[in-house]
Amino acid sequence: MSRNLSIQSRQLCGTLLFCLLLVPLCAARDWRYEETHNDTRNFASGGNVHVRLSVGDLRIRRGDSTKIKLQYTVKSRHESSVKDARVDFYVRGNDATLDFHAPHGGDTQFDVELEIPASAHLDVHQKVGDLTVDSIDGDKDLNLGVGDIRISTEQKGYRLVNVSTGIGDVNSHGYGETRGWLGKSLKYHGDGKYELRAHVGVGDIRLEED
């Protein structure tokens, strides 16, 4: 028992330290410069979409069944940071990768709108910001450091749902009861064919019926 408490204490301390280190990045900014860009790529239905984002909000929704459409806005207090920010976006077979790079200094963020095929499988790693996923049926592996995750999809499509927060709540309807105190966790087994795995270090997770 004491060993489990010790492990939980170390995990909690690590999560709190991570949160404190990222607080400056979460503070409201007086964005003086911004640029918006658009890009579209052909993509196979049912492929894998990998997204890497440090700071910003990410919204992913159902789009064309054979394309990925990207719109993003770079915001910063410095014009040079807006110019130096970039996105590595490439498709190789059934795998698409979008890697967002901001200059060092913590004064730049991305606001991202992404449309992907409904049956695409998602792999998202995001440090700070909010993540929204609407009407995507495929497997989802979502990891967020600080912020909230909202997922809107049909419950009947899942065979496994495994979500958790380090510090925060898990809100859902029909997926069963959550467990935990400071952080919450939820496991659900259904008759569908897809899996949802999601974790937030500091923040909430909300599961909504599509």
Q: What's the domain count of the chain?
A: 1
Strand, coil or helix: 31: coil
What number of residues does the chain have? 210
Between the alpha carbon of residue 36 and those of residues 10, 86, 112, the distances in Å are 41, 12, 10
Token pair in block for residue 21: 């280190």
Strand residue runs (E) in the chain: 33-42, 48-62, 67-76, 86-92, 95-101, 108-116, 121-128, 131-134, 140-146, 149-153, 158-167, 170-171, 185-189, 194-202, 205-209
Q: What is the pLDDT along the chain (210 residues), one digit of tens a residue?
A: 444 444 445 555 555 555 544 444 444 457 889 999 999 999 988 999 999 999 999 999 999 889 999 999 999 988 888 999 999 999 999 999 999 998 876 689 999 999 999 999 999 999 999 999 999 999 999 999 999 999 999 889 999 999 999 999 999 988 988 999 889 999 999 999 999 999 999 999 999 987
* pTM exceeds 0.95 for this model: no
| Calpha distance 149→133 (Å, rounded) | 8
The partner residues of 126 in beta bridges, in order of sequence, read 53, 144
| Calpha distance 33→1 (Å, rounded) | 53
| Calpha distance 171→149 (Å, rounded) | 10
Q: What is the dihedral of CA 77, 82, 84, 85, to 10 degrees?
A: 110
| Calpha distance 41→97 (Å, rounded) | 11
Residue 182, domain extent:
2-209
